[in-house]
Amino acid sequence: MKILGIETSCDETAAAVIEDGRTIHSNVVATQIDMHAQYGGIVPELASRQHMLTFNAVIREAMEKASMELRDLDGIAVTYGPGLAGALLVGVNAAKGLALAEETPLVGINHLEGHIYAAWLEDIPDPANDPGFPLLCLIASGGHTDLVLMRDHGRYELVGQTRDDAAGEAFDKAARVLGLGFPGGPEIQKMSERPHGPERRFPRPNVKNSLDFSFSGLKTAMLHRAQEKGWYPPGEDEIDESELAGVAAAFQEAVVDSIVTRCVAAAEKYRVAGIVLGGGVAANSLLRQEAITRSPVPVIVPRPGLCTDNGAMIGAAAWHHLRDAPQYGWDLDVVPTLRLG
Ligand code: KG4
Ligand code: ZN
């Protein structure tokens, strides 16, 4: 079953053709990040307009790379939430247009479910190593840090979430305080990998008797550290790069430790067969490494390009919705605050 997966919930206009939830025929991602970086964060109205301008070219490229015509598709899938309302509207409306023109089944996909299904794409996991269910899924992105217990395809239970900032948001805010670029996660990772001396560790945020996360205290600790060193507010003095790398590395360790500790605790509590990592923060190399080292069960983590937003994950998730019952979602609406489980 060949499905066109479309994603426009935030700052990537993305489309992919996926067969049977697994094989990637094409995967095109047009990122707007440079446009938003000059404002230090995503500007919702600019995002919607850019999706509108880019959409047709992205769809055309995805179809060309897959060597297919729209009429060859068995379904069209589009993210309908969570995300920026205006950005989601562009994708949903355009997907309806395509589906109507070709009378193709159309299904709306939860973006968070998409991040989970990136784990089934291509050879990840190798079918021989597929641990089966139940799985513990971490979705760590710019807007979410959720622990979801997945008992089977389509069966989700939210067992942990952030009480304040999302992990990606914490990286983005910390990077801003350190004068690094946007998005902050990749910048902090890059800085952490530079040579540095020892640095005082950051506190490990802890929500007692719970699998919930909290990152706002860590953000405040970073602000105090930068003020103490005279780096914030930004001044004329040059910042010692190895000291900066040390602070970035200590911060990254604290976020990663906080995430992995809860993943392992949840995996043990629910006796899962494996852990799936997804969302932009799962592109972080220390997180990937630590999760694999400390987990008592196999860890399935898509390659970094499939952790950040893309259309392939939407096409992969859609297969499970469309294969049993074709749907025609003409009344599909966007749900910016959609949850999973
Ligand atoms: O899933 P995603 O692409 O978009 C949302 O659904 O939000 O996640 C974006 C987030 C940003 O906050 C970004 O800083 C973070 O993922 N991120 C990373 C890395 N790459 C992206 N965080 C840490 N390390 C990375 N390598
Ligand atoms: Zn995402």
**What is the helix (H) or strand (E) element at residue 246, kind and residue range?**
helix 241-269
State in Å: Cα 177 to ligand 2 middle: 23
pTM (whole model) above 0.75? yes
Tens digit of each residue's pLDDT (9 = 90 or more) over 20-64: 999 999 999 999 999 999 998 899 999 999 999 999 999 999 999
What pLDDT score does 294 carry?
98
Candidates 117, 172, 177; CA nearest to 142 is: 172
**Per-residue pLDDT averaged across 115-124, rounded?**
87
Give ligand 1 pocket residues (Cβ under 6 A). 10, 141-143, 168, 171-172, 183-186, 189, 279-281, 283-284, 308-309
Q: How far apart are CA 182 and CA 172, in angstroms?
A: 7
State in Å: Cα 143 to ligand 1 middle: 9
State in Å: Cα 238 to ligand 2 middle: 35
State in Å: Cα 187 to ligand 1 middle: 11
What pLDDT score does 307 carry?
98
Tens digit of each residue's pLDDT (9 = 90 or more) over 127-166: 656 789 999 999 999 999 999 999 999 999 999 999 999 9
Q: Write the residue with the smallest CA distance to atom 7 of ligand 1.
A: 142
Average pLDDT, the chain: 96
Q: Write the residue with the smallest CA distance to atom 10 of ligand 1.
A: 142
CB 185 within 8 A of CB 280: yes
Which of 110, 171, 340 to mutate for ligand 1's pocket (most ligand atoms within 8 Å of CB)?
Answer: 171
9 CA closest ligand 1 atom index: 6
State in Å: Cα 141 to ligand 2 middle: 6
Tens digit of each residue's pLDDT (9 = 90 or more) over 269-315: 999 999 999 999 999 999 999 999 999 999 999 999 999 999 999 99
Q: Where are the alpha helices (DSSP H) in 127-231?
A: 167-177, 184-192, 216-228
Q: Where are the alpha helices (DSSP H) in 111-240?
A: 111-117, 167-177, 184-192, 216-228
Q: Which two tokens stand for residue 264?
A: 């392992």
Residues with CB under 5 A from ligand 2 (ion): 141, 309
**Per-residue pLDDT averaged across 234-239, rounded?**
90
CB 277 within 8 A of CB 230: no
State in Å: Cα 320 to ligand 1 middle: 26
